[in-house]
Amino acid sequence: MIRFEEVSKSYDMSRIVVESVDLEIKRGEFLVLVGPSGCGKTTTLKMINRLIPLTKGTIWLDGKRISDYPIDKLRWQIGYVLQQIALFPHMTIEENIAVVPELVGWKKKRIRERVTELLELVGLDPAVYRHRKPHELSGGQQQRVGVVRALAADPEILLMDEPFSALDPISRVKLQDDLLELQRRIQKTIVFVTHDLQEAFKLGDRVCIMNEGKIEQVATPQEILTRPASEFVQEFTASALARTFSIEDHLEPVPEGELPSFAISIDSGWGPLVQLLATSDKVAVKKEDNVVGFVTREGILRFLAEQSLEGTVRNE
């Protein structure tokens, strides 16, 4: 669907923002780009719809170079959702959603039906909301409108640049859940940027971890946790997750007669535990030389899911 081939971006031929990126995004996949500030994730996203021109390499869309598409037709195929929702304040919600379909040349009847369909899709009653102005909606409701506006002309691809980071934790978790349900129903190709590793693990079919303009690892959340591809990935995941994790809170009983292959102190942190879980499904936990329980890979994944639902982990 989308393929990066040796893609680089630099400014003034000196400051390299993205360097030699090779990446393939499958049709219908939810891919999340995550990494520290300045790692190049937003630049990578914006090169897909040519908001930022690439310096070297090629980006392919359905086997065709994005540079071969007329810019307006390319962007009509790609929905775009920002952190700053950017609804037109003087327009109604219906008028906001209708912007791209009108540019594409849809008939009024079709546009009205599409607005109704999309508002219902995100739980906003069309009879109540279509004639309201953006200032009459909450932040979460405005962001829902931002998402459906990006979907209005039924694009194959949806780009989302930290769309939930300005929301309060409760609204953010609700919108994450809503987005997952929406994706289950519409099966778009989504490329999502976040600085929050927990959000990335919750949403992504695969997660792409970036650092200093390069890709460190592209894999499922479970693969990243259990088989980090580099020291940076290991440290990045450990620092993001350690703040809410305590081994003692996740102990499981030791089966009778079972001897541990791997053991760790109950006072150890997230990093050493993940290193051991990369090679074993479970790790014994010792307290004063006595085995007091096991921590399992399955249990850690449950912990991650619970943390995502509670919205308690936030990366700076």
* Identity of the highest mean pLDDT range in 13-22, 182-191, 231-240: 182-191
- pLDDT value at residue 312: 37
- Between 141-145, 236-240, 292-296, the lowest mean confidence (pLDDT) is in 236-240
pLDDT range class, residue 291, cuts 50, 70, 90: confident
Average pLDDT across the chain, whole number: 88
Dump the DSSP string for the chain: -EEEEEEEEEETTTEEEEEEEEEEE-TT-EEEEE-STTSSHHHHHHHHTTSS--SEEEEEETTEEGGGS-HHHHHHTEEEE-SS----TTS-HHHHHTHHHHHHT--HHHHHHHHHHHHHHTT--HHHHTT--GGGS-HHHHHHHHHHHHTTT--SEEEEESTTTTS-HHHHHHHHHHHHHHHHHH--EEEEEES-HHHHHHH-SEEEEEETTEEEEEE-HHHHHHS-SSHHHHHHHHHHHGGG--GGGG-BPPPTTPPPSSEEETT--HHHHHHHHTT-SEEEEEETTEEEEEEEHHHHHHHHHHHHHHT-----
Domains belonging to the chain, first-starting first, are: 2-226 (3.40.50.300), 236-310 (3.90.1280.20)
Is the pLDDT at 33 greater than 60, yes or no? yes
pTM: 0.82
pLDDT in tens, 98-122: 999 999 999 999 999 999 999 999 9
- pLDDT value at residue 315: 34
- pLDDT value at residue 311: 43
